[in-house]
């Protein structure tokens, strides 16, 4: 269990290669086997790489497992964590906004337009930072969908709030002026106040809120469920912060993987050149849902990237009652962390440390969960934003591949639970769109 209070937190949080399981985990498995207990962030934790156990815990437990600092960050009354019923309610709301129908009707054109605009700007400037640009696209798109038209100063302040949260959510829970938890809570309060002020001002003046708020209030006002403005604000806050912290980092890591495999890059350029030429011949500019679904090789790349970058637990639960699975007894009240180590099992994936999108050829590319693939979690907490994340990545890659580009060789991708880019994620871009046919492995 490690040292008193701090347990094995320092070892667990050491930065490691984002494309390999952490040394802490591999050493522990060699010593204790696929399931072991430890102490992290002042909490008692079970860590598991046993796929059967992970799936059983995900299926029978519903409360997300997180240190107290994270629970405080998202709020004790947050509907995502308050109860099974409230979580079910917000999942229903989110699926209306981010389900395939919502993406077709509301999101794809906005993401496409913003990605095109930012890529054109990057080409004029000679380059851009992938993670930073992806974050801007996401924030600009969601801000309009949620809040509607905003006064320029409020929109700018909101963008700064969303983009400026302290990194590293997994911390000890002590809030001392100047430390990480204190800064996180301060940033949270600032953003919550700004959101609430904007919503109240718009409702008082009769101005329209964005489509997402219409879904929230439209469903609840006429039904049995009532969501207060406070709960709605907490819901929006949680939704935005999680979206902004996950997809941009995975996209930047994906671009790094593509950059390091010239044959993958060449095949992507061919696929997107074909789509671009088809749109030109039809005198169409905007991408459609059908265009997105036709990006077969891009989907293979994204699936492979999600497999190889899932080097953190994708299943986090509080064990609600003592559970017996096989030879294991999992005690109630402990945090359970399930790692998807099956992603690196050579019996399931040949040469598992290699980035090889062709391993997905002929497979169902829409699957987001199986016994050998679980980048988005499992059970009642399976990520509802999975298709949205994949769509963002595909559209960004589409517009990037319209240009000649290369990522800086010094780019490093590390994990300290959350993906880190200590030297940034810059790419150089030129407007020369000729596809390089000389690419090799």
Residue given tokens 């609600």 in the structure block: 320
| Four-point Cα dihedral 68, 73, 79, 84, nearest 10 | -20
Going by the DSSP 8-state scheme, the letter that residue 440 receives in this structure is -
Structure tokens, 258: 């593509």
| Alpha helices per DSSP H over 180-330 | 180-205, 211-221, 229-259, 262-281, 289-293, 296-309
377-to-163, 192, 198 alpha-carbon distances in Å: 25, 28, 34
275 with 294: CB under 8 angstroms? yes
Q: Are strands 315-318 and 335-338 parallel, antiparallel or unpaired?
A: antiparallel
| CA neighbor of 419 nearest in space, from 231, 206, 307, 251 | 251
Largest CA distance in the chain: 67
CA 198 distance to own-chain centroid = 26
SS (H, E, C) 3-62: ECCCECHHHHCCCEECCCCCHHHHHHHHHHCCEEEEEECCEEEEEECCHHHHHHHHHHCC
Structure tokens, 105: 């009707």
What is the radius of gyration, based on Cα positions, of the chain?
22
* 383 annotated as ligand-binding: yes
Binding site as annotated, residues: 383
Binding site as annotated, residues for heme: 383
């Amino acid at each position: 269990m490690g040292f008193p209070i701090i347990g094995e937190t320092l070892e667990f949080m050491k930065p490691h290669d984002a494309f390999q399981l952490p040394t802490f985990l591999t050493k522990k498995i060699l010593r204790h086997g696929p399931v072991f207990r430890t102490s992290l962030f002042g909490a008692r934790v079970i860590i598991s790489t046993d796929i059967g156990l992970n799936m059983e815990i995900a299926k029978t437990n519903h409360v997300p497992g997180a240190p107290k600092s994270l629970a405080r960050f998202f709020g004790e009354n947050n509907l995502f964590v308050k109860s099974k019923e409230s979580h079910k309610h917000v999942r229903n709301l989110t699926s209306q906004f981010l389900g395939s129908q919502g993406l077709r009707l509301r999101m794809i054109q906005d993401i496409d337009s913003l990605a095109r605009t930012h890529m054109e700007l990057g080409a004029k400037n000679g380059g851009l930072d992938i993670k930073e640009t992806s974050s801007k696209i996401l924030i600009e798109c969601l801000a309009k969908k949620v809040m509607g038209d905003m006064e320029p100063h409020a929109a700018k302040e909101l963008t700064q709030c969303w983009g400026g949260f302290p990194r590293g959510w997994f911390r000890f829970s002590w809030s001392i002026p100047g430390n990480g938890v204190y800064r996180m809570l301060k940033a949270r309060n600032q953003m919550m106040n700004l959101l609430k002020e904007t919503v109240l001002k718009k409702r008082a003046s009769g101005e329209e809120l964005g489509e997402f708020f219409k879904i929230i209030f439209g469903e609840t006002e006429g039904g049995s469920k009532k969501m207060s403005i406070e709960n709605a604000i907490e819901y929006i806050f949680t939704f935005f912060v999680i979206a902004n912290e996950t997809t941009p980092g995975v996209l930047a890591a994906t671009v790094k993987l593509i950059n390091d495999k010239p044959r993958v890059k060449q095949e992507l350029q061919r696929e997107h050149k074909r789509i671009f030429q088809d749109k030109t011949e039809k005198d169409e500019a905007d991408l459609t849902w059908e265009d997105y679904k036709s990006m077969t090789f891009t989907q293979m790349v994204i699936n492979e990237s999600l497999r190889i970058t899932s080097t953190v637990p994708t299943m986090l639960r509080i064990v609600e009652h003592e559970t017996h699975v096989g030879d294991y007894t999992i005690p109630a009240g402990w945090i359970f962390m399930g790692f998807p180590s099956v992603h690196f099992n050579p019996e399931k994936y040949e040469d598992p440390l290699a980035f090889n999108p062709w391993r997905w050829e002929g497979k169902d590319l829409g699957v987001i969960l199986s016994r050998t693939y679980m980048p988005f979690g499992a059970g009642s907490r399976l990520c509802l934003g999975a298709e949205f994340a994949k769509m963002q990545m595909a559209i960004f890659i589409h517009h990037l591949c319209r240009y000649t580009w290369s990522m800086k060789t010094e780019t490093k991708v590390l994990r300290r639970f959350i993906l880190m880019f200590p030297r940034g994620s810059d790419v150089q871009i030129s407007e020369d769109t000729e596809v390089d046919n000389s690419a090799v492995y």
